[in-house]
A and B are shown apart, each in its own frame.
Chain A
Amino acid sequence: MTDIKEIVSEIDTLKPIPPVAAQILVLVDDADSSLSEVADLIIHDPIITANVLRLCNSAYFGLSRKVESVYDAITLLGLDHVVDLVLMESLSCNFRKGGDGYGLGEGELWRHAVLAAHVVKILVKLAGLPVKKHLVFTAALVKDIGKLILGRFVAFSFEKIDILVHSRGYSFDEAEKEVIGMNHEELGALMAEKWRFSEKLIYIIQHHHLADAAARDDSEAALVYLADIVCMMMGMSTGVDGLAYRFYSDVLNRTNLNANDLQTVIAKTGESWDRIEGLLNLV
């Protein structure tokens, strides 16, 4: 088994998430916060402001007039869209490099993250549950941060992990835990803690495969889990771990969804494929 301390010490080698992203997340999920508060937060970060303006003025959005301020961007695109762009822009840096040990090429982990975030939005709409939409969007985006570090250890122990998965009925994360001593959900939660993510975001990262039965009652964790399942079924940037994670059918009932809805989400995601590709090229 690998020395856990050695794994955890690697967290410091990654670039931390900009604090403004965490602050925005807190604000937008607070029903009492106003549009101007969110805009103020963005305006006071010149790099993020510049990026928001660059993204909003790109051909992807095809706006008829030039966006000259953050207020302009919010008015024209809507607060939700601007917040999602800010969060994606803030989180993309580390993700673009990771994925090696899981057999993913450069940018594939990020591709999976963006797709999962897109899928969770479709699921939220379909389920109609009162969940914090930016929280689940962000959680879907960052759920696999643990893979950024664990990949190297997975590559080193891959044969042992593979035997457990293919011969002994383990899921990939169960095998990670058995062979390495820690799985990517646990490591991701430690990273999120270090980067001062909210308690709920840490919880969802830690339980996004719902191995703990109690987490299946948590609507937000359940929707992020289902988004991951849909991405796996669509083969989206699946590496050596593939689809080797557990499916809990009762989670669909608990989120007001059924087997047909699962197919509808796949179809809706497929339909918006060009748009997702556009977004990936943009951020």
Chain B
Amino acid sequence: MVSGTFGNLNVNRNDQHCMPVALTTAVNLSEMKTSNNPAETLVAFSIGSGIGMTIYDPISSVGGLLNFMLPSSTTIESARIKKYPFMFADTGIPAFLSTLEVMGARTERMKVVIAGGARVLNQTGVFNVGRHNYQATRLILSGYKLDIHYEDIGGFHSRTLKLNIGSGTSTIHYPDQRETKI
């Protein structure tokens, strides 16, 4: 389920005025998308206990969004399901970083934003998948010496996360219409 826009291959242009047409690309559950198209905005809608992660390199203007649901592929027995690397933090984050690097992003310049990891009321301990997702994220990113630039984690509401490739701005939207720009 990997997809991305490389170069200007997917840029829609208005031929008359040569103006780039804004393009919004949904990043569904267990997907990641990367882009260097300045007219493109990547968006992961309604993130619950899973985590949405945007990464942007301001020098190469390459960015991407990963939308994973679970902390570890090792807890799932089905080999078939393990074929979805972006479903899990342990397989999704490394593959996400590799794809960005191939596109010209450099780890030391990456700005990381994460949102999600919500929980149902009274959901604690082993049942708090949101918390486990967050812990797995921190652990994996620390292995790459990557800091989290901004995080909005936990609580019991869903979030929508966007990354505008042109500006490098991440935006977190809440169901009550509030939003935070990073």
Contact = CB atoms under 8 A, between A and B. Distances in A.
A259 B69 CA distance: 15
B127 interface: yes
Nearest to A238: B158
Interface of B: 28-30, 45-50, 69-70, 75-78, 80-81, 84, 87, 116, 118-127, 129-130, 156-158, 175-176
A146 B87 CA distance: 33
Interface of A: 103, 162, 171, 229, 232-240, 242-249, 252, 259-260, 262-264, 266-268, 270-271, 273
B87 A270 contact: yes
A233 B81 contact: no
Given A171-B121, A229-B120, A267 B78 contact: yes
B87 A267 contact: yes
A270 B158 contact: no
A246 B30 contact: no
Nearest to A171: B121
B75 A270 contact: no
A50 to B, nearest CB: 33
A232 B84 contact: no
Nearest to A103: B175
A263 B121 contact: no
Contact of A237 (B46, B75, B120, B125): B46
Given A233-B118, A242-B157, A247-B127, 14 more contacts: A232-B120, A233-B120, A233-B129, A234-B29, A234-B49, A234-B69, A238-B48, A240-B175, A249-B124, A249-B125, A267-B84, A267-B87, A268-B78, A270-B84
A108 to B, nearest CB: 9
A123 to B, nearest CB: 15
B154 to A, nearest CB: 10
B175 A266 contact: no
A242 B158 contact: yes
Contacts of A259: 126-127
B158 A162 contact: no
Contacts of A239: 175
